[in-house]
């Protein structure tokens, strides 16, 4: 691409200058300053974007996204805005010739995601989703163990995102509404661990779920549970909550030869993974399973490094296209199952299905009644 050939660095623009842009994306971009150059930022709040640019040394501030894309012609746009505008802004950036790195959830519905994907070129630009929990040395190591069958066949699993979000959190405009966010704690919080579970276990085949609004004064769910059957035959439970004072993010996979467990909150490192062998596993084999190499924590930086390498090579990045769609499809199916009370199969939700255009369908009943 002409711009990177001229400067040796990838030109990056940031869309949305809220907390995730300030606290996660800007530090990652600054860490990779030899590879990327943050040339501009956009926000509808002029004061916010000017403060972001001033603090981060970003030269150009915009309150018009199209103008920023036209004048700066970035190679990569980092979308950190609310889910309600992900489709519009991602497609605008793609059509302007920029790659996109879009915060989760990728969109409010499968139809919106598919529209984003349709705006990609056959050989790029591509839109990747921020699923940073897939990345890092621990996740890479365990994925390899499972893919090679070293631990034996996966049999049972548990995926848990039990966080605490109080009334002040939901007081922000649009929080806890279907229109702004496309879902509740499952879509906004649990999707990270759901995505990692799917990365480790592969395709799912069926889900049966319940959702409820038990405590928070919101439209969407604050608790959800699901049973998931994987194509491999493995069974998993999924629990998501925004009402849990003892917060934890956890994945546990019981295989024929070992149990693998990850327990953390917002970021994991090698020390957060534990492998417990079945009886009869030789000490040397266990030592090899537990050797994860140099510690690379999961982070926006870890994913950004991978994305930059893919952009330079012109190849489709991880967590884009069909690969980036998998967790959104499972969340949409979870919502459909909770609403209908019936199992939902993988691939069932498509054009013509009401849950294709909207993951949820209006306020939930209270006190645990069926969604």
Spatial separation of the C-alpha atoms in residues 301 and 332, rounded to whole Å = 28
Which CATH number characterizes residue 253's domain? 3.30.360.10
For residue 361, whether the previous peptide bond is cis, meaning omega lies within 30 degrees of 0, is: no
Whole-structure pTM value = 0.94
Domain shared by 271 and 309, yes or no: no
252 and 169 within one domain: yes
* Average pLDDT per 10 consecutive residues for the chain, totaling 371 residues: 62 98 98 97 98 98 98 98 97 98 97 98 97 98 98 98 97 94 97 98 98 96 98 98 98 98 98 98 98 98 98 98 98 97 97 89 48 44
What end-to-end distance do the CA atoms of the chain give, in Å?
A: 49
Domain that residue 188 falls in: 134-296+327-357
Q: Are 243 and 214 a contacting pair, CB within 8 Å?
A: yes
What tokens does 101 get?
Answer: 């790195």
Note whether residue 141 is domain-resident.
yes
Cβ–Cβ < 8 Å for 240, 266: no
247 and 282 share one domain? yes
Residue 261 sits in the same domain as residue 147: yes
Rounded Cα distance, 367 and 301, in Å: 40
Residue 253 lies in a domain: yes
β-sheet with 223-230: strand ranges across: 273-277, 258-264, 243-255, 154-164, 235-241, 223-230, 204-212, 344-345
**Residue 368 within a domain:** no
Is 19 inside any structural domain?
A: yes
Same domain, 201 and 217: yes
User: Per the domain annotation, does 109 fall within a domain?
Assistant: yes
Res 359: pLDDT: 76
User: Is beta strand 243-255 parallel, antiparallel or unpaired with respect to 258-264?
Assistant: antiparallel
Q: State pLDDT tens for residues 57-111.
A: 999 999 999 999 999 999 999 999 999 999 999 999 999 999 999 999 999 999 9
Q: Where are the beta strands (DSSP E) in the chain?
A: 10-15, 36-42, 60-62, 76-79, 99-102, 127-129, 154-164, 204-212, 223-230, 235-241, 243-255, 258-264, 273-277, 344-345
> Do 211 and 310 share a domain, yes or no?
no
Task: Output the pLDDT for position 7.
Answer: 55
Give 299-353 pLDDT, tens digit per residue: 999 999 999 999 999 999 999 999 999 999 999 999 999 999 999 999 999 999 9
**Domain-embedded: residue 364:** no
Contact in structure between 243 and 164 (CB atoms under 8 Å): yes
Does residue 112 belong to any structural domain of this protein?
A: yes
DSSP string, 136-183: SHHHHHHHHHHHHTTT--EEEEEEEEEEE--HHHHTSTTTT-HHHHSS
């Amino acid at each position: 691409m002409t711009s990177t050939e001229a400067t040796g660095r990838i030109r990056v623009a940031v869309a949305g200058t809220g907390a995730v842009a300030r606290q996660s994306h800007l530090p990652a971009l600054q860490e990779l300053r030899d590879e990327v150059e943050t040339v501009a930022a956009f926000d509808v709040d002029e004061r916010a974007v000017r403060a972001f640019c001033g603090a981060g040394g970003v030269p150009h501030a915009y309150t018009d996204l199209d103008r920023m894309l036209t004048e700066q012609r970035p190679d990569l746009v980092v979308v950190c805005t609310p889910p309600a505008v992900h489709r519009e802004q991602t497609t605008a950036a793609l059509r302007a010739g920029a790659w996109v790195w879009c915060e989760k959830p990728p969109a409010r519905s499968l139809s919106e995601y598919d529209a984003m994907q349709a705006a990609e070129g056959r050989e790029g630009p591509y839109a990747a989703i921020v699923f940073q929990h897939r990345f890092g040395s621990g996740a890479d190591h365990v994925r390899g163990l499972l893919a090679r069958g070293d631990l034996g066949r996966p049999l049972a699993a548990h995926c848990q995102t039990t966080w605490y979000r109080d009334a002040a959190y939901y007081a922000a405009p649009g929080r806890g509404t279907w229109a702004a966010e496309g879902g509740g704690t499952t879509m906004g919080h649990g999707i990270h661990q759901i995505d990692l579970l799917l990365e480790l276990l592969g395709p799912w085949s069926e889900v049966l779920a319940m959702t409820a609004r038990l405590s928070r004064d919101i439209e969407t769910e604050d608790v959800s549970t699901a049973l998931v059957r994987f194509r491999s035959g493995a069974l998993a439970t999924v629990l998501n909550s925004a009402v849990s004072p003892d917060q934890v993010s956890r994945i546990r996979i019981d295989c024929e030869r070992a149990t693998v467990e990850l327990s953390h909150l917002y970021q994991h490192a090698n020390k957060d993974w534990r492998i417990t062998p079945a009886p009869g596993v030789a000490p040397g084999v266990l030592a090899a399973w537990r050797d994860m190499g140099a510690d690379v924590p999961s982070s926006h930086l870890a994913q950004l490094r991978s994305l930059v390498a893919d952009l330079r090579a012109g190849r489709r990045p991880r967590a884009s296209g069909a690969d980036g769609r998998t967790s959104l499809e499972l969340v949409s199916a979870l919502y459909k199952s909770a609403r209908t009370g019936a199992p939902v199969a993988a691939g069932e939700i498509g054009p013509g299905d009401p849950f294709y255009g909207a993951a949820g369908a209006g306020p939930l009943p209270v006190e645990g009644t069926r969604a």
